[in-house]
Structure 1
Amino acid sequence: MSTIAEVELPANEFALREALTSNLDAEFEVVRLAAHDSDRVMPYVRVSGTEASSMTETLEADPSVENVELLDDLGDELLYRMNWVENIRVIMHILLDEGGTVMEMHGRDDRWHLRILFPTRDALSATHEFCTDKGLTFSIKNIYDLKQSTGRGEFGLTENQYNALVTAVEHGYFDVPRDVTMSELAAELGVSQQALSERLRRGHKALIESALRVGDASFGSDY
């Protein structure tokens, strides 16, 4: 079964290391990523929180980057095309060796956050083993199977969050006025009110971040 993993990579082990660490107010979003051969990746990268002149100069000076091209300057948002040529062993392994797909990729400060679709759970395990063998960091924050019947994988919900939200909707918790109280809903799910509150809150956060693509979510909680 296809598996989605939320992972983090440290900036100092990946492409654009110098660009990220020298522009702490900038946020990088990879909007398209393709591996053309075994030693080069061509991404389209959206950058916000900086100016075109300074960012272009920074990118051109970054040793992991070649052929930087500014495609669009919208003032508060820049779109670049470039080649990544260094510190890309992890992404090459994911794309070429395991047949994975990078669904989302955001970089800021000292790390990258990725949402990756692997064709099997074994492909994810193989990637983790590859990084361990190479002395690279591959921090898995959350893993979930892609179940089309529920759709929770698409939005980064844990099973507990998904069940809490669906049960709340089915019992009218979000209706105005409400048809069920928090206490009654918690009893239905067999959990405490505090646990239910946490699941609903974190489930809402995951849905909003996925739908609106804001921030860099961490999906490490069991709730």
Structure 2
Amino acid sequence: MTRLLASVASLEELTLAARGGADILDLKDPKAGALGAWPLDSIISAVNMAHRWSARPPLSATVGDLPMDSAIVSQRVVQTWACGVDYVKIGLLPSGDPAACVAALAPEAQRGTRIVAVLFADLWTDANRLLPDLAQAGFAGAMLDTAGKGTGGLLRHKTRDKLARFLSQARGFGLLTGLAGSLRLDDIPTLLPLAPDYLGFRTALCADGNRGGALDSAALAAVRDAVPEQPLTG
């Protein structure tokens, strides 16, 4: 079954998304890029807040739009995981040496750090080729997203068949799967039958589709109604 991932930009939005039934709460600053990171102290505050709830969705946190430098990537993943989140999301770019970054993160993944690789559909033509490396390194999951939020949503960059192949191959390697990238409410009927583990939203959850604006409870409710709700897990 597919879960709803809601990207939140503040502690207030964290609470709103949890109350609105999001299955995964994703700590991300949309004004700081495709995978804009929260400050580490704010991530800790979010984790502490969520732990006071009687039940909570898992928390993920992005590490920012980083260059494909294995030392920089590894340091940021270690720092973010130490904040106490359930997943760390790292964007992998075709420029630089993404394979070296994956290899450098293998020791962390094998120590229990749950890392989700984000591959950008508008930058990669062959993102699937990294899936075996991600699985061998011990990554928890892989998802497709978009880097350029002004260039159209995920379905503009990848056909439904290409998305299906990505998901099938990732599942075959035992990876959690996700789709995101300026998804709209009317994309959901197309993507749900592909059965990703989660669909990620920001733009569709904000008033007037402004991803840099505030989360809107009515928009969240509309997306929640369109994605069958899942039981909470820690």
- When normalised by structure 2's length, the TM-score is 0.28
The structure with the largest strand share of the pair is 1
Larger Rg over CA atoms? 1
